[in-house]
Amino acid sequence: MFVEKPPCLSVSEGRKLVDLASAGRRTLMMAHRLWYRPAILKLKGLVDDGRLGRMQYMYSNRLLPGEKRSTPNTESDEECSTNACS
């Protein structure tokens, strides 16, 4: 089950989500768009293959070309994933 952020507003709601997923024999996953982006998947592949050595810590900033904005823009994100940013 994919859930969007925030998944719930209380601990009791969170427990209900976990119970629901468990009863349906499903994996409960937080939606995290960046994890499935081509650049992130490529980096994970390099780490998994050992091509970057033993990873101890990694930090990244999300940088997109264009005007700085305070909230994510889905259209720009989608355009970036299919064009120059991938």
- Residue among 48, 61, 5, 13 at smallest CA distance from 29: 5
Task: Give DSSP secondary structure letters for 34-47.
Answer: GGGSHHHHHHHHHH
Asked if residue 70 is part of any domain, the answer here is: no
Give the number of domains in the chain: 2
Instruction: Let me know whether 5 and 39 are in one domain.
Output: no
Q: Which residues constitute the domain of residue 50? A: 33-61+76-86
Distance CA 4, CA 32 (A): 8
- 17 with 54, same domain? no
pLDDT digits (tens, 9 = 90+) for 6-29: 888 899 999 999 999 999 999 988
pLDDT (tens digit per residue) in 28-70: 888 777 777 788 889 889 989 999 888 888 787 777 665 555 6
Are residue 1 and residue 22 in the same domain, yes or no? yes
Domain shared by 20 and 42, yes or no:
no
> Is there a domain that residue 69 lies in?
no
